[in-house]
Amino acid sequence: MRLKNKIALITGGTSGIGLATAKLFIAEGARVAVTGRDEAVFDRVKAELGENAIVLKGDVCSITDMRAIATEIKDKFGGLDIVFANAGWAFPTPLNDIDEELYSNIMDVNVKGVVFTLQAVLPELREGSSVILNTSFVAQTGKHGISLTAAAKAAVRSLARSWSYEFLHRKIRFNAIAPGAIKTPLITKWGMSDEWVRDRMDDFAKSIPVGYMGKAEDIAYAALYLASEESSYIVGTELIVDGGASQL
Ligand SMILES: NC(=O)c1ccc[n+]([C@@H]2O[C@H](COP(=O)([O-])OP(=O)(O)OC[C@H]3O[C@@H](n4cnc5c(N)ncnc54)[C@H](OP(=O)(O)O)[C@@H]3O)[C@@H](O)[C@H]2O)c1
């Protein structure tokens, strides 16, 4: 029970990495608020997470939504000990294909969303809180055709450093996790054929030194470590969980 009596917010907790992390945090004794936009999945997510979770609707890009979520968490739980700012989006963006809409779609959810999530919940964060920002292995090196996602995640990595300084006086730790290629529904939301998705998954697996894609649980365990007091001396860092993809 490494998170006994802790209260956690996980944005984008209705799918993939966020949902796996919510399950693990609850198993470790936390009560968790998860957020997402698509209400169609809320009943299933509530059933999967059980009575120690609440599922809240909100777009991380909307300060109004995020303030309402912060108020709901305060009313329901009284405060927060852990935030996993996880909601995000990745999409191929060769420079020539970038238009203003695509630019906003990627930069807003990944950067603006993190900024306004943290701004909204800041008053509820207790002394000693742990905040984890979700970045990506694509920002560790140059990669072909994914420049905007990489740039957005590099910005988020930088926020973890700056906010660590800004909130030292409140003993709030900020760290980041950089997932590698992880099997989640994300890529299936790109509107490509099943065959295309299968081929890309095979390509990803072949390009990773360990030879396979990661599981959402691989990131959940990293988040658990950064959320727990076992990592209390770790501040402003980025934990890379990518099967060696950016390091070997
Ligand atoms: N999977 C990977 O290979 C990989 C690699 C590196 C980094 N990451 C990062 O890991 C995080 C989670 O990705 P995932 O793979 O778990 O994807 P996923 O399965 O698609 O889950 C994304 C979650 O974010 C929510 N979300 C998306 N846009 C949102 C918005 N504007 N406001 C609120 N919630 C929003 C989604 O719910 P709704 O759509 O209902 O809003 C969903 O709950 C992202 O930040 C992603 O960039 C993933």
Rounded CA gap, 238 and 221, in Å? 14
Confidence band (pLDDT; 50, 70, 90) for 160? very high
* Residue of 86, 133, 200 best suited for mutating to test ligand 1, as the one with most atoms within 8 Å of CB: 86
* 168 falls within a domain: yes
What are the E-state strand segments in 37-144? Answer: 53-57, 80-85, 125-134
Say which amino acid occupies 60. Answer: V
Considering only CA atoms, which of 143, 146, 176 is closest in space to residue 158?
176
Q: pLDDT of 166-210, one tens digit each?
A: 999 999 999 999 999 999 999 999 999 999 999 999 999 999 999
Q: What's the rounded Cα separation, in Å, for the pair 59 and 39?
A: 12
Whether 248 is covered by a domain: the verdict is no
Please state the domain count of the chain.
1
Q: Does some domain include residue 1?
A: no
Residue 246 lies in a domain: no
pLDDT, mean over the chain = 97
pLDDT at 146: 95
For the Cβ of 117 lying below 6 angstroms from any atom of ligand 1, the answer is no
- For 197, the domain range is 7-241
Task: Give the span between the Cα atoms of 35 and 66, in whole angstroms.
Answer: 10
Report the CATH number at residue 138: 3.40.50.720
Q: Is residue 178 part of a domain?
A: yes
- Asked if 201 contacts 213 with a C-beta cutoff of 8 angstroms, the reply is yes
Position in ligand 1 atom list of the atom nearest CA 17: 16
* Amino acid occupying residue 245: A
Residue of the CA atom closest to atom 37 of ligand 1: 36
Residue 34 lies inside a defined structural domain of this protein: yes
Structure tokens at 154: 């590099």
In a domain, 202, yes or no: yes
Q: What is the mean pLDDT of residues 46-75?
A: 98
Asked whether 211 and 245 are in contact (CB, 8 A), the reply is: no
What does the pLDDT read at residue 187?
94
Any domain includes 247: no
Asked whether 126 lines ligand 1 (CB < 6 A), one says no
Ranges 17-21, 37-41, 76-80, 189-193: which has the least confidence: 189-193
- Position 166 scores a pLDDT of 98
pLDDT tens, residue by residue, 102-153: 999 999 999 999 999 999 999 999 999 999 999 999 999 998 999 999 999 9
Looking at residue 239, what is its pLDDT? 98
Ligand 1 geometric centre to CA of 86 (Å): 7
Distance 176 CA to ligand 1 centre (A): 15
Banded pLDDT at 156 (limits 50, 70, 90): very high
214 lines ligand 1 (CB under 6 A): no
Residue for token pair 């979700």: 134
Query: Which residues are paired to 8 by β-bridges?
Result: 32, 82
Please indicate whether residue 201, judged by its CB atom, sits closer than 6 Å to ligand 1: no
